[in-house]
Structure 1
Amino acid sequence: MKISVIVAAYNIESYIEKCLESIIVQTYKDLEIIVVNDGSTDNTLHLISNFSKIDSRIVVIDKANGGLSSARNAGLEIASGEYIGFVDGDDYIHEEMYQKLLLLSQETQSDIAVCGHIRKYSNREVFSNSKKIIHYSSEEALSELISSKKIHDYAWDKLYKKKLFENIRYPIGKMYEDVFTTYKLFIKAKKVVYIDEPLYYYIQRDGSILRKGFSEKQFHQLEALEEMKRFLIENRIYHYEENLDARILNVKCRMLFDISAGNAIKNTTKHKDTAKFLIKTIRAKSIKDLFNKRVSLFSKIMMILSLHGYWTVQMTMRLYPVKTLIERRVGLR
């Protein structure tokens, strides 16, 4: 069974070699490695071309810059494998990742196999490694995806049967393209299997959103979740509504935190109107959400801080112990 591994690459000359090396040395050898150079202006294309000369499995697509979705879609158009995997060009993978995921998929007759990942910061690593294997029906897997606890929307920690991508592509020009897309693949999947073993290394380069700064494009995540909600309702799939509403609330609280904590770190007042808008929508939720187990403890804290308006949230983020903790968490201390 051939696996087509699609690698999106844009201006990552410091990372692409480690990424491709980790794919080339996979213990499962029947790979088609499609590397899409998405209009890089640095040395990325040259490095990719060098790798293609030493490994005949590498296919290079050189295209004008169009974003991550455009790059993945370009790879999907030419993929010839029975299975599809994605690796972002600034990340890398464990040498047994695809062998383990393929074996799991075949043994359980699952259309999607999912593994854990290591979130690598400059000063720490975050991961789980119980090696527990969980089998999901289509409905169970979609519920888990929506709740976003064990299984997340990421494209790259999964191995998919290629047939799932018939008539499905990633949306051009959107951030959180995975949130717009992954649930559609899960709805088509009859079975999903998950192993709690970190086989994908997710590199947090250039810091978190707190260091890069909040972008209004983060609203694309809410747009994707609202689109998901409409899709489920239109298809008369109602029993995920409470989970999805809780996730939307969690995302709004996280966005409010990103703005407020980022402003505290940088001593600015950017996106103040956006923060006030988020607070208004958060405060509109019922008090019962404070007792909803689907709403995270983090979100409940942000909800309580929001009760008295933006000034309370911002003042809390500027408190020295809170600000110091935030800076340590994103590697600034």
Structure 2
Amino acid sequence: MDRVTVIIPAYNVENHIEKCIKSVIVQSYTDLEILVVDDGSLDQTPEILKQFSLLDERIKVVTQDNKGVAAARNTGLREATGNYIAFVDSDDYVLPNYISNLMFLMKWYDADVSATRISNIRMNNQAEADDCRNLVQDQTIVMSGKEALNSLLLRKEIAVAVYGKLYQRELFEENVFPEGKIYEDLAVVPFILAKSKTVSYNPVSDYYYVTDRNMSIMNKQFDARNYDRIQASKNLQVLKTQFPELRDSLDFQYIRSIIQVMNNLVATDDYHKRELFELKLEASKYIDRLIRSNAIGIKDKLLVKSVDLPLILLKIMSKMYKFIYK
């Protein structure tokens, strides 16, 4: 069997890490290296990880000072010995066939990246990971790297998240996570897909993302680090050289990031009027062309057009965004 390194970054997750690790231990695909990077936890996480490492020799715990999830993932990549790489977040969990499904998609279709669907679930309504879900028959989609990239940019089959996928290890040789930044998946995954020849996807749902995380950046008031989303999307513009036919999709990703940050700003008590005006001005440069684009769907054009709303109506835009992308 080909070894898969499962990288799990962990920071102060004493209430969740046990469920996460147990779900990886019971994988039907057994040739695993389970690499948990403790990112300077201050709670009982280190003790829990120590106990697990004594129970299963496949578990390796690496400890570092707190540097953030991007740095923890990079540490995992440096320490990995597997031929393939998978990521699981420490407060999420997976079903027992998760890795075997991804490996089948990888091998059968000679893919560089394989992916399955990610399910959102609330923390207080979690199902037990006790069933083995098989691939959805006759629904596998095989894409080129360009097609997979376009799928991600337009929010179709391929999610931007680094988890929910299996990767050939060498894809990370020139792609590492930007440390000290958030939205690090957006900064890396599109470049991974652009580097891939073949990407296989099946809509089996065997990765569970816990939506109401107390530490999640998405559950906080506006944080200046939200601008990292815009910068990550702007950095993707270099892919226009490699894929000029994806210009509109890349621009839409950039505009959507701007709109998402505008939504974050308007949700705070202080409207940040100057920042909102500057973001609105930047986004307006792309509106006319994207509205006419054949690459962009109706609901996406509606989102783009919402930038034209007066600043006083931005709260309506925020509600519109949540409605059309719910």
TM range (shorter): 0.7 to 0.9
Q: 1:221 aligns with which of 225, 229, 235?
A: 229
- Distance in 2 (alpha carbons) for counterparts of 1:210 and 1:80: 33
Aligned position for 1:282? 283
* Structure 2 stretches lacking a partner, 5+ long: 127-133
Moved more, 143-152 or 96-105: 143-152
1:60 — aligned with what? Answer: 61
Q: CA–CA distance in 1 between the matches of 2:189 and 2:10?
A: 20
- 2:85, 2:169 within 8 Å by CA — same for their partners in 1? yes
Counterpart among 127, 139, 144 of residue 146 in structure 2 = 139
- Say if 2:160 is the partner of 1:153: yes
Question: 1-side partners of 2:262 and 2:300: how far apart?
Answer: 10
Hey, what's the Cα distance between the residues in 2 that align with 1:209 and 1:170?
A: 17
The match for 2:130 is none
Amino acid at match of 2:141: I
Residue of structure 1 aligned with 2:247, choices 241, 250, 254: 241
Q: 1:161 to 1:302 in 2, by over 3 A?
A: closer
CA distance in 1 between counterparts of 2:194 and 2:215 reads: 33
- Counterpart contact for 1:249–1:295, Cα < 8 Å: no
Q: CA deviation at 1:225?
A: 1.9
Match of residue 199 from structure 2: 192
> Aligned AA for 2:168?
K
> Structure 1 residues 137-146 or 185-194, which shifts more?
137-146
1:169 to 147, 159, 176: 176
How many angstroms does 1:182 deviate by? Answer: 1.4
Provide the residue aligned with 1:181 in structure 2.
Answer: 188
CA drift of 1:111 comes to 1.2
The 10-residue stretch of structure 1 (300-309 or 209-218) with the greater mean CA deviation from structure 2: 300-309
C-alpha contact 1:250 1:295 (8 A) present in aligned 2: no
CA deviations 1:26-63 (Å, max 9, x no partner) are 11111100000001111111111111111111000011
CA displacement at 1:244 relative to structure 2: 0.5
Q: Aligned equivalents of 1:259 and 1:45: distance in 2?
A: 36
| Structure 1, unpaired ranges of 5+ | none
Letter matched to residue 238 of structure 1: P
Percent identity, please.
Answer: 30
Does structure 2 conserve the Cα–Cα contact (< 8 Å) formed by 1:279 and 1:309?
no
Q: Which amino acid aligns with 1:255?
A: V
TM-score (norm 1): 0.85
SS of match in other structure, 1:239: helix
String of CA shifts for 1:265-291, please: whole Å, max 9, x gaps.
xxx124333222222223333435345
Distance, in Å, in 2 between the alignment partners of 1:186 and 1:231 is 11
Amino acid at match of 2:114: A
Count of residue correspondences: 314
Aligned counterparts of 1:305 and 1:137: Cα–Cα separation in 2? 32
Question: Which position in structure 1 is the counterpart of 2:261?
Answer: 255
User: TM-score, with normalisation over the residues of structure 2?
Assistant: 0.86
- Equivalent residue, structure 2, for 1:34: 35
Q: Which range moves more in the overlay, 86-95 or 139-148? A: 139-148
Q: Tell me if the contact between 2:256 and 2:304 (Cα under 8 Å) persists in the aligned partners.
A: no
Counterpart code for 1:187: A
CA contact (8 A) 1:5 1:85 kept: yes
Whole-Å separation in 1 of the counterparts to 2:218 and 2:259: 14
Cα distance between partner residues in 2 of 1:59 and 1:207: 25
CA-to-aligned-CA distance 1:204-253 (integer Å, 9 cap, x gap):
213876641122212212212221212542xx431211110112112222
Q: Take 2:276 and 2:305, find their aligned partners in 1: how far apart are those partners?
A: 15
Question: Is 2:15 the counterpart of 1:14?
Answer: yes
Q: Deviations over 1:106-152 (max 9, x none)?
A: 11111111010111235889xxx993210012222222233232102
Give the partner amino acid of 2:236.
M
